[in-house]
Amino acid sequence: MQPSLPNRAIEWREQCLFLLDQRRLPLTVDFLRLKTPQEAFAAIKQMVVRGAPAIGITAAYAVVLSAQQHSVSNMTDSELQSLKTLITADIDYLALARPTAVNLAWALAHMQQIVDGCSAVDATGLCLALEQAAVQMQQADVIANRRMGELGAAYIKKGSAVMTHCNAGALATAGYGTALGVIRAAHAQGKLSCVFANETRPWFQGARLTAWELQQEGITTQLLADSAAASAIQQKAIEWIIVGADRVAANGDVANKIGTYALAVLARYHGKKFMVVAPDSTIDMATSSGADIEIEERAASELTELNGTAFAAPKVAAWNPVFDITPADLVDVLVTNRGVIEAPNQAKIEALMA
How do the domains of the chain map onto residue ranges? Answer: 10-145, 148-353
Q: Are 290 and 346 in contact (CB under 8 A)?
A: no
Task: Supply the CATH classification number for the domain 148-353.
Answer: 3.40.50.10470
Topology of domain 10-145, per CATH?
A: Four Helix Bundle (Hemerythrin (Met), subunit A) (1.20.120)
Rounded Cα–Cα distance for residues 147 and 144 (Å): 5
Tell me what pLDDT residue 7 has.
63
| Cα-to-chain-centroid distance, residue 121 | 36
Does residue 80 carry a pLDDT above 50?
yes
Crossing angle, helix 102-117 and helix 77-94, to 10 degrees? 170
| Buried-state track 226-239, b at ≥16 Cβ within 10 A, e below 16 | beebeebbeeeebb
Mean pLDDT of the chain: 96
- CB 169 within 8 Å of CB 216: no
Band of the pLDDT at 4, cuts 50, 70, 90? low
- SS3 at position 160: strand
Model confidence at 208: pLDDT above 90 = yes
Buried b (16+ CB within 10 A) or exposed e, 126-165: bbebbbebbeebbeebbebbbbbbebbbebbeeebbbbbb
Q: Are strands 192-198 and 160-164 parallel, antiparallel or unpaired?
A: parallel
Better-scored residue on pLDDT, 194 or 7:
194
> Does the pLDDT at position 307 exceed 90?
no
Cβ atoms of 144 and 177 within 8 Å: the answer is no
Q: Residue 286: is it exposed, middle or buried by C-beta count within 10 angstroms (0-12/13-18/19+)? A: exposed
Are β-strands 10-13 and 16-20 bridged in parallel, bridged antiparallel, or unpaired?
antiparallel
pLDDT at 1 over 70: no
Residues that are catalytic: 246
What is the share, in percent, of the chain residues with pLDDT greater than 90?
A: 92
Cβ burial of 116 (10 Å; 0-12, 13-18, 19+) is: exposed
Report the alpha-carbon angle 31-48-59, nearest 5.
95
Res. 5 pLDDT band, cuts 50 70 90 = low
Ranking 117-126, 135-144, 159-168, 302-311 by mean pLDDT, the lowest is: 117-126
In this predicted structure, the answer to whether residue 325 has a pLDDT above a threshold of 90 is: yes
172 pLDDT higher than 80: yes
Q: For residues 192-218, give the mean pLDDT.
A: 97
pLDDT given at position 3: 66
**Residue 48's CB: how many other CB atoms inside 10 A?**
22
Report whether 295 contacts 255 (CB < 8 A).
Answer: yes
Coil vs helix vs strand at 172: helix
